[in-house]
Amino acid sequence: MTQFPQAFPATRMRRLRQAPWIRSLAGENVLTPADLIWAVFVHDGEDRMPVGSLPGIDRLSVKDAAKAAIRARELGIPAIALFPYIGADGKDETGSGALDPDGLVPRALKAMKDAAPEVGLITDVALDAYTSHGHDGLLDEDGTIPNDATTEKLVQQALVHVGAGADIVAPSDMMDGRIGAIRSAFEEEGFTNQMILAYAAKYASGFYGPYRDAIGSAAALKGDKKTYQQDPANSDEALREVALDLAEGADMVMVKPGLPYLDIVQRVSSAFGVPTIAYQVSGEYAQIKAAAQNGWIDGDRVMMESLMCFKRAGASGVITYFAEEAAVKLG
Ligand code: PBG
């Protein structure tokens, strides 16, 4: 806890707020494009394919994803997080498409790396975009997700991603032990520079709704993810998850969703002192956009305020669908 002296007799807080120059001089946090990770959806079509529940966000073709990488470099956005939309035809029970070295994600990674090698590429390691049932792992007949069998698939998926040029893999599946398994596979295969951003504290949240539309898993999803994602009521559990993932070899950790879980961002960043990334998820974006479209809030202002709040809470970066828009504003 910060200790405050007993009194500041002659201090008037308003003196420090009277004009922009003194507000910026006395300010505690800054937001720059370097704090942003741009969340980008790709699909196998030629045209942009809008996502109804994410106004302003389209699924991009591989070609346009390469252009987005160039755009990120121009705007000073350090990294892109890539998410695939696989049509129903490409999905099956075991999510086999996730392991295809010539699949959509590997092709997009190669195109993006060729176009802008300076931009970091982050991939989502989980099976939900590829399974016909929409779960992040395999699904047994009794409705459970087998942890270790799923982890084996995730390891292969992560290897496919780094083989195609991913700099950071981000396992978002919440299986136990997957960080350690991926790390040892990377060591064995010589991927010693590739990083792991663990979705360490990932909650079973209703805020993921528009994302599930975007990757086409919403209609398919059987049941919910409460047996592997965290209970929104818990906070200490998040610290245990983070500790485990770090011990297993994660380089960075993530808290997700973002704004409703800022207390977790704050606890994790101060307890562990490792790069802590917050994910401003699809439902958070959609809420802001919808209210702005109705004229109920000033969308630009709330976008910038929400992003700054992550910095104040101690996040070193934010995955956000606002990245391009915010970076343009930050100029
Ligand atoms: C799962 C994954 C999800 C998100 C990112 N990776 C959804 C889920 O767990 O169902 C959600 C992101 C968002 O809502 O923006 N692989």
User: Which pLDDT does position 13 carry in this prediction?
Assistant: 79
- Is the distance from the beta carbon of residue 282 to the nearest atom of ligand 1 less than 6 Å? yes
- For atom 14 of ligand 1, the residue with the nearest CA is 208
Query: What pLDDT, on a 0 to 100 scale, did the predictor assign at position 223?
Result: 85
Q: Which mean pLDDT values do the consecutive 10-residue runs of the chain (331 residues) have?
A: 64 86 95 98 96 97 98 98 96 97 98 98 97 94 94 98 98 94 98 97 96 87 89 98 97 98 98 98 98 98 98 98 98 90
CB of 286 sitting under 6 A from ligand 1: no
Q: Is-contact 95 142, C-beta < 8 A?
A: no
Query: What b/e sequence results for 106-121 when a residue is b if at least 16 CB atoms lie within 10 Å of its CB, and e otherwise?
Result: bbbbbbbbebbeebbb
* 91 labelled catalytic: no
Of all protein residues, the one whose alpha carbon is nearest to atom 10 of ligand 1 is 208
All domains of the chain, ordered by start, with CATH? Answer: 32-330 (3.20.20.70)
Matching residue, tokens 């994790």:
268
- Distance between CA 153 and CA 178 in Å, rounded? 10
Pick the residue whose CA is nearest to atom 2 on ligand 1: 172
With a threshold of 0.75, does the pTM exceed it? yes
Strands 120-125 and 195-202: unpaired
Q: What is the DSSP string of 138-171?
A: ---TTS---HHHHHHHHHHHHHHHHHTT-SEEEE
Catalytic residue among 202, 225, 289, 311: 202
CA of 190 to the centre of ligand 1 (A): 29
